[in-house]
Amino acid sequence: MISVTINGETRSFEAPVSCAELIERLALAGKRVALERNGEIVPRSRFAEQPLAEGDRLEIVVAVGGG
């Protein structure tokens, strides 16, 4: 089990997950999101290969269009 902090809220997972799996679990798949892990932006092209680790601090921002 690992615990990570997402936008200030602690979440636990039974097994390690990748950034891509996290985005899916948060129902954000297909949306324009920016993900910061421990103060560094994770490029979208690396979401699938970037695993999360115990204690990671994540900030996720969803782009909202409008006019």
C-alpha angle with apex 3: 11 to 32, nearest 5 degrees?
A: 55
Mean pLDDT of 8-17: 93
Mean pLDDT to the nearest integer, 21-36: 94
| This prediction's pTM | 0.87
Q: Where are the domains of the chain?
A: 2-62
Question: CA 63, 66, 67: angle at the middle one, nearest 5?
Answer: 145
Share of the chain above pLDDT 90, in %: 87
Judged against a pLDDT cut of 70, whether residue 67 lies above it is answered with no
CATH homologous superfamily, domain 2-62:
Beta-grasp domain (3.10.20.30)
pLDDT tens-place string over residues 13-25: 998 899 999 999 9
